[in-house]
Amino acid sequence: MTVSPTAERPSLRSQRLNQITNEPHTQLDALVKAHAPFETQANFARFVVAQYLFQSELVTLYNDPELIKIIPDLAERCRAQAAKLDLGDLDTDIPAPVAGALKHPSTAEALGWLFVSEGSKLGAAFLIKRAVGLGLSETFGARHLGEPVGGRAEGWKRFTRTLDGLAFSAEEEAAVEKGAIDAFVRFTVLLEQAYASAPELA
Helices 107-132, 170-196: axis angle to 10 degrees equals 40
Q: Is residue 134 part of a domain?
A: yes
- Quote the pLDDT of residue 199: 56
Q: Is residue 154 part of a domain?
A: yes
Q: What is the mean pLDDT of each run of 10 residues along the chain (202 residues)?
A: 50 96 96 96 97 98 98 97 98 96 97 98 94 97 93 95 97 98 97 80 38
Instruction: Say which CATH number the domain at 66 has.
Output: 1.20.910.10
pLDDT tens for each residue of 8-25: 567 899 999 999 999 999
- Quote the pLDDT of residue 118: 97
The predicted model scores a pTM of 0.92
Q: Is residue 22 part of a domain?
A: no
Measured in whole angstroms, the distance separating CA 48 from the mean position of its chain's CA atoms is: 12
Q: Is residue 164 part of a domain?
A: yes
Structural domain boundaries enclosing 53: 40-195
Q: Is residue 100 part of a domain?
A: yes
Rounded to a whole number of angstroms, the CA Rg of the chain reads 17
- Quote the pLDDT of residue 10: 73
| Number of domains composing the chain | 1
